[in-house]
Every structure is written in structure tokens, then in C-alpha cells.
């Protein structure tokens, strides 16, 4: 095991990650208790609230599958504790890898986990990943209420333009992650196109068969299939 992974998978990293995740778990429990009390105050039947809690717990399992897959993919590169922390609290596999690579390249290392990727370079990757992600949270805290009021006004005055604007923002965000494989081509582009095709097929089957569970598993299935195809493409090309 390389030295940076000794640090990345060290006891201190596990302790720090567990402390942050525990804080978020406690926060979630506090919100759950407050929501339950509020439901009782406004007269919602306790059995209905319990059913809502159970159904929410069950349906949260499906969206967590891509996160588990991302954790499996990230942990050999960035270590288990930090990957666990990032994917449990905030961030995504695509962002984490891009940000970590920027941190490595800024210190003269071309590839994550390659020769020269020392514990110091790893710490720089962590700083870039952490500092790069906080701005969205700060923007929400400071400006989200004002932003939503503006969007609401646009929806009221011109709903079609509001829909175009929101979709443009969404696709602009996606282009940040899709640009690299499209420009690089090769295996990356093949995996992107194949995964997209699999997602379209699954979506079509879900509509055709009228089975909601197929839609729920579409992201997880396309991710697993994309990873499997990446291995096949690598062996073929």
C-alpha cells in the first residue's frame, strides 16, 4: 500500500469522518422529531405519519445504490473514510474525481494514485474538493430565498421562459461533467453513450410495462452496466 493510502485509510481519517457523519445523523433525528411533533400539533393521524416514515425509509434505499457504487469506485483512489464522508454528506463521484484531479495537477501530479501522488498531494486534493463544494451551500444559505422569489415571479409572468431557463441551467451543469468524455473520446465516450442508451431502454421499459420500480432502479442499473462495459471496452480496445 502506498504511503498516501496509509494516511487516507488511517484511524484519524476514520475518526474525523465519523464525527461529521454522526453530527449529520443527529441533525436528521432532530428534524424528524420536530416534524413528528408538528404533525401531531396540526392533527395528522399518527398511523399515517408512521406509514410515511416507513415508506420514506424503504424508498431511500434505491437512490442510495448509486452512492454505494460510487463509494466502491472512489475508495481505492481516495481512501474509504474521505470517500465515505464526501458521498454521505455532499458531493458526487463525478465532482469528487474532477476536483481531486485538479488538486493533484496543481502540484504537478498528472493522475490520481500515480507515482508522485504523496500524502501531501492527497491533502491538497482534499482541500480542493472541500473548498470547491462549499460555495453552493453558502449561496443557498445567503441567496436561495431571494432566488426562489425571482423564479416564482418569472413563472407567474412567463412560465414558458422560466421552463427554458431552468432547463438551460440544468443542461449547463451537466455539460461540465459530460464535456470531458466527449472531448477525450475513446473508452470514456463509449461508456457515456452506452450508459445513456441503457438508461433510455430502461426508461422505455418502465413506461411500456407501467412498472415504477424499473424507473427507481434505472440510475443504479445504468451505472453498474456502464462500469461493466468500461471493463469490457478496456479489454477489447
What's the pLDDT tens digit per position in 59-114? 677 667 777 878 888 888 889 999 998 888 887 777 888 888 899 999 988 888 88
pLDDT value for 105:
92
Q: How many CB atoms lie within 10 A of CB 168?
A: 10
Query: What residue spans define the domains of the chain?
Result: 1-89, 91-157
pLDDT value for 1:
43
Alpha-carbon separation of residue 107 from 4, 37, 76, 132 (angstroms)? 15, 52, 21, 17
Q: What is the pTM of this model?
A: 0.68
Cα 234 from Cα 150, distance rounded (Å):
48
Q: Phi and psi dihedrals of 37, rounded to 5?
A: -65, -40
pLDDT value for 2:
53
Show the low-confidence residues of the chain (pLDDT under 70).
1-2, 58-59, 62-63
Amino acid at each position: 500500500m502506498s504511503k498516501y493510502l496509509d494516511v487516507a485509510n488511517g484511524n484519524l481519517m476514520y475518526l474525523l469522518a465519523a464525527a461529521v457523519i454522526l453530527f449529520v445523523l443527529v441533525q436528521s433525528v432532530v428534524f424528524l422529531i420536530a416534524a413528528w411533533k408538528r404533525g401531531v400539533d396540526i392533527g395528522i393521524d399518527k398511523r399515517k405519519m408512521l406509514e410515511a416514515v416507513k415508506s420514506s425509509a424503504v424508498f431511500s434505499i434505491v437512490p442510495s445504490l448509486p452512492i454505494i457504487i460510487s463509494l466502491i469506485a472512489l475508495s481505492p483512489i481516495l481512501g474509504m473514510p474521505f470517500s465515505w464522508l464526501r458521498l454521505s454528506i455532499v458531493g458526487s463521484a463525478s465532482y469528487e474525481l474532477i476536483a481531486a484531479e485538479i488538486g493533484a495537477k496543481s502540484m504537478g501530479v498528472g493522475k490520481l494514485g500515480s507515482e508522485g501522488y504523496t500524502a501531501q498531494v492527497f491533502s491538497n486534493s482534499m482541500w480542493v474538493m472541500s473548498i470547491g463544494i462549499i460555495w453552493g451551500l453558502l449561496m443557498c444559505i445567503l441567496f436561495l430565498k431571494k432566488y426562489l422569489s425571482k423564479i416564482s415571479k418569472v413563472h407567474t409572468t412567463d412560465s414558458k421562459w422560466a421552463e427554458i431557463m431552468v432547463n438551460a441551467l440544468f443542461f449547463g451543469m451537466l455539460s461540465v461533467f459530460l464535456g470531458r468524455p466527449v472531448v477525450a473520446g475513446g473508452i470514456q465516450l463509449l461508456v457515456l453513450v452506452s450508459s445513456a442508451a441503457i438508461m433510455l431502454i430502461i426508461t422505455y421499459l418502465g413506461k411500456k410495462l407501467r412498472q415504477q420500480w424499473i424507473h427507481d432502479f434505472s440510475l443504479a442499473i445504468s451505472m453498474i452496466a456502464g462500469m461493466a462495459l468500461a471493463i469490457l471496452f478496456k479489454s477489447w480496445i
